[in-house]
Amino acid sequence: MLLPLSKSIVAGSIILMSLAICAVTLRLFTRRKRKVSIRADDWMIVFCLIVAVGLCITTLYAGATNLFARPIPSLTLEEYHAHEKIIWVNALLGFIVYAVVKFSILLFYKRIFDLRRFHLAANVVFVIVAAWMVAAIFAQIFSANPVDNWWTSSFDFTRAFDYEIFLFAMSIIDIFLDLTVLVLPIRVIAHLHMDTTKKVALIGTFGLGFFCVVSSAVRTWYNWELHLVVAGKTSSYNITSVSAWGVLWADIEACSSIVTACLPTIAPLFAGSTLIENLLRSVQSYVHRSGSLLSLMRFRGSSRGDGSSRVESSRAKQESAESIDGKRAWVELQPYQNDASVTRVPSNTMNDEENLLQHPTEAIRVDRTYEMANTARFSQGY
């Protein structure tokens, strides 16, 4: 018979696991329906789901066997070993999920905001998250000496360090990384030429992950309470209930992170999602136009080597081209070495963005070859 705490653990694990599976399934279904290829951020979230399902299954087993609902002194030695083994495995799986879901979000950001500086910032955050994950996994594995003390020793075995403080510190860093990932695109969005209402809606779309920050904060609080209970500094909770609720909130954070990471990508499936989809399209369109202009500036200022010789040769051909109806003729140049097609166009066709180049008589339009693919993606969704 399940104890009340075990019932909460079982129900919570099943619901959370189901929500995460549904979110990822809808994400992949949206990709297929919109005829959009599976990208790196999608594969990351699939891997994250696999690990999260393992996390929920171990918690579900602990709840179904009342391992997390009974006082530790009432457990047999075999049950105690199973209890500690689940704690050890759940911590490992949790660190992986928390990091990989951030990887997926960062890759999604890089796909939407195709700007060099933003990519650099995202890569820096990516490396920091990876370092945190490696450090946390390494410390968790060797938190007992030898490692198998987790599931072979008697009650109250000695760990290699203050394990509860370790969990608390990792949770604090995890919250900081969550906030860093969430605020990363705000500066770019703030500089977009769109209405304030749309900016707020876009920031809200990317800010859905703040619920994960809340769940991470609750998990951090339980880790601190666990430290106080083990140190004998409080009697408000017993170690059984604190550990159980800490594990359950770890599942909540893992699965809710997956769900919120999938929401922007599955928006086209639901009624009333046109605003979000159009906002994402406008962001990509604006960013790619800005990226084209920046590429043009770099192209004009840093051409060298074979690419430079081809450009100079093409310029010579253009200067000798005959006029048509009193206007400069369109002359197609040789492809530049960065796979950009360069075309000289009359100045009277310049739009506002090209005028920023302050070229009085002619303009060079740089259209990256991948823009056709992006245009197709705009019509198909995310």
Same domain, 95 and 151: yes
Residue 30 inside a domain? The answer is yes
The count of domains in the chain is: 2
C-alpha 360/C-alpha 122 separation (Å) is: 37
Domain end marker among 270, 296, 314: 270
C-alpha 376/C-alpha 378 separation (Å) is: 5
Identify the domain containing residue 293 by its residue range.
Answer: 284-380
φ, ψ for residue 53, nearest 5 deg: -65, -40
Dihedral sign for Cα atoms in the order 131, 128, 207, 378: negative
C-alpha 145/C-alpha 152 separation (Å) is: 12
Distances in whole angstroms, Cα of residue 137 to Cα of each of 52, 93, 334: 16, 9, 52
Residue 278 inside a domain? The answer is no
Same domain, 265 and 288: no
Q: How many CA atoms lie within 13 A of 119 on its CB side?
A: 9
Q: What is the CATH number of the domain that holds 226?
A: 1.20.1070
Same domain, 309 and 350: yes
Same domain, 170 and 261: yes
Same domain, 27 and 123: yes
Residue 37 inside a domain? The answer is yes
Residue 200 inside a domain? The answer is no
Same domain, 50 and 186: yes
Residue 177 inside a domain? The answer is yes
Same domain, 359 and 231: no
Of 254, 99, 229, 98, the closest CA to residue 163 belongs to 229
Residue 276 inside a domain? The answer is no
Of 331, 358, 356, the closest CA to residue 346 belongs to 331
Query: CA gyration radius for the chain?
Result: 27
Strand order in the sheet with 331-332: 331-332, 340-346, 362-368
Same domain, 135 and 173: yes
Same domain, 264 and 312: no
C-alpha 286/C-alpha 194 separation (Å) is: 10
C-alpha 167/C-alpha 253 separation (Å) is: 15
Domain end marker among 220, 242, 270: 270
C-alpha 357/C-alpha 226 separation (Å) is: 61
φ, ψ for residue 367, nearest 5 deg: -115, 110
φ, ψ for residue 160, nearest 5 deg: -70, -20
Residue 351 inside a domain? The answer is yes
Same domain, 25 and 151: yes
Same domain, 110 and 234: yes
Q: Tell me, what's the pLDDT at 51? A: 96
Give kind and range of the element (H or E) at residue 372. helix 371-380
Same domain, 299 and 209: no
Q: What predicted TM-score, i.e. pTM, was given to this entire model?
A: 0.70
Residue 275 inside a domain? The answer is no
Give kind and range of the element (H or E) at residue 343. strand 340-346
Domain end marker among 240, 270, 300: 270
What residues of the chain score a pLDDT lower than 50? 272, 274-275, 291-332, 336, 338-382
